[in-house]
Structure 1
Amino acid sequence: MSTSNDSDLPSFDTSEFKYTQPPQPSWTFGQPITSTEEGRKWAEQEKEGWKSFDISAENPRFMYSLCTSGIAPRPVAFVSTIAENGDENLAPFSWFNQVSAFPSVISVSCLAIPRHKDTASNIKATKGFTVNIISEPWVAHANSCSIDAPPGVSEWALSGLTREPSISVKPARVKESAFALECELLQIVDIKNDAGAITTNLILGSVKYVHVRKAVLNDKGTIDPAKLMPVARMGDTTFVTVKDGFRIPRPVWADEKETIENLALL
């Protein structure tokens, strides 16, 4: 499944996730971007000018490519569903995120052109689905499920992945996924274009169960990114991994008020 020029690329970076200092460790309130060398280089780019796009005047396919390359990286939902006739489907979607914590609700968007995706149709019909987070060791397996296979072909068989029975919904979760969600349909919002045609199905799912491999948990009981090794999507067919992380605390007004007042920013 490699492209013809893959052999010209360096080997995959197998180094582990590590924490570093943030990009601007000494920045404080009110300082302009040009206060650091990195910021000055970024500001210099603006001299090349801007290019603005009127969505209504552009080719929709081009705007899709442009926006998916700019709204990035995006987490990937690897969704398992079952049709009314029992056919199983497995497919990745990078328009995905959690949209509510209380209650726990996630969103997955499926393009409905040139036809409705099997995933959306199955969720409408049978209400249950699982979302499985993809990790580096099996990203090729998951990507194989994006193939435009004819009806009746099992993505499970193509992927080489393993079904693991769910607790509250009928579709299986992916056993190889270290973080998986069992979801029930909460709502589907059909997004239409100016002509009134449905172009996208926005699926909201209520999370009923979360399954986590003990091996990817840290001592706080939450996910260790070095162990989960999640992948994300950029534009075109580009995936990215997470190798570096840094922490930037959220500022608290009570702690920062005096500094801000001394800087006379307000």
Structure 2
Amino acid sequence: MSESDLPAFDTSDFKYTQPPNPSWTYGEALATTEQGQQWAQEAEEGWKTFNPAEEDPRVIYKLCISGIVPRPIAFVSTLAEDGSENLAPFSWFNQVSTNPCVISVSVTNSPRHKDTAANIKATKGFTVNIISDPWIAQANSCSMDAPSDISEWTFSGLTQEPSISVKPARVKESAFSLECELLQNVEIKDAGGKVTTNLILGTVKYIHARNAVLNDKGVVDPAKLKAVGRLGDISYVSVKDGFRIPRPAWAEYIEENSKSSL
């Protein structure tokens, strides 16, 4: 099936639904629902096991990016020592801590060394911008293997917004941006001692959240952020619905079990 045969992008609003099994109680097996039964039965088909130390790294790469999903995307803006600009998306990204506020971005050296890692190590400052539905095409264009002396800003159509504490601009189209300063670069090496990946830890100096995406509690509303995540191969995912499940408490568990034992 070609891309033109696929249905049009779903522009419907974000919605909350019930969780998949709202009536679940402590200790209840998975197979009590039709969906759960099917999921449990599929486990009987067995597993295929992979040993990363013995497999072709390309096989492990494709397997992991398809199985560790969805992944948030860091759209990273950097400057080289000579002032040249770079803008690139990375989906091996997440928050590390909030006190201090630290994020991580993992930059692989395959198939080639990335300008982003080199720029951050050289100039220390960078911005991370969260991608939303309306401008995913512009962001995706920055994954092009453009020469290092070409700024992705020139063909992305995106707008530079001055940062407060770092030199690289943030993306004005992003509703949630982080100004970061290099805290630590961890070199990940293969069995032969070759550096294959730079795990960049960045201290967040400023957070920019668009007023329009904040709710009345002062936190980001997922329905308004319209964040885009990464799947395997060239696939992305749009956040269209969500469900809420209260965090369980030990006292609640004890109470439920005492009732069932009566």
Question: TM-score, normalising length from structure 1?
Answer: 0.96
Residue 262 (structure 1) shift:
4.5
- For residues 45-94 of structure 1, the C-alpha deviation after alignment (integer angstroms, 9 at most, x for no partner) is 12222111121221110110001100000000000000000000000000
Match of 2:122 among 122, 125, 132: 125
Match of 1:9 among 6, 11, 22: 6
Deviation per residue, 1:195-252 (Å, 9 max, x gap): 0000000000000100011001111111111111000000000000011110001001
SS in structure 2 of the partner of residue 223 of structure 1:
coil
Match for residue 177 of structure 2?
180
One-letter amino acid of the structure 1 residue matched with residue 2 of structure 2: N
Q: Which of 119, 135, 138 in structure 1 is aligned with 2:135?
A: 138
Identity of aligned residues (%): 68
**Structure 2: distance between partners of 1:61 and 1:75:** 22
Partner of 1:103: 100
Aligned to 1:77: 74
Q: In the alignment, does 2:27 pair up with 1:27?
A: no
Paired position in structure 1 for 2:204: 207
| Counterpart for residue 240 of structure 2 | 243
Residue 148 of structure 1 aligns with an amino acid whose one-letter code is: D
Equivalent residue number for residue 260 of structure 1? 257
Q: Aligned to 1:48, what secondary structure does the other structure show?
A: coil
TM-score after normalising by structure 2: 0.97
Moved over 4 A (4+): 261-264
Cα drift, residue 114 of structure 1: 3.8
Partner letter of residue 202 of structure 1? L
The aligned counterpart of 1:167 is 164
Could you tell me whether the CA contact under 8 Å between 2:95 and 2:103 is conserved in 1? yes
Does the Cα contact within 8 Å between 2:115 and 2:148 map onto a contact in 1?
no
Deviation at 1:254, TM superposition (A): 2.1
Equivalent residue number for residue 219 of structure 2: 222
Quick one: distance in 2 between partners of 1:62 and 1:23?
A: 32
Q: Contact 2:181 / 2:203 at 8 angstroms: preserved in 1?
A: yes
Q: Could you say what secondary structure the match of 1:63 adopts? A: helix
Which residue matches 1:233? 230
> Does 2:149 correspond to 1:152?
yes
SS in 2 for 1:255: helix
Measure the CA separation in 1 of the matches of 2:111 and 2:255. Answer: 57
CA-atom RMSD in angstroms: 1.2
What's 2:53 paired with? 56
Residue by residue over 1:120-178, the C-alpha shift from the partner in whole angstroms, topping out at 9 and shown as x without a partner, is: 00000000000000000000000000000112111001101000000000000000000
Q: Distance in 2 between matches of 1:19 and 1:155?
A: 36
Instruction: Count matched residues.
Output: 261
One-letter code aligned to 1:31: E
> Partners of 1:106 and 1:116 in 2: how far apart?
21
Structure 1, unpaired ranges of 5+: none
Range with greater deviation from structure 2 (56-65 or 189-198)? 56-65
Deviates most, 113-122 or 183-192: 113-122
C-alpha separation in 1, matches of 2:248 and 2:110: 44
**Matched-pair contact (CA < 8 Å) for 2:26–2:253:** no
Unaligned runs of 5+ in 2: none
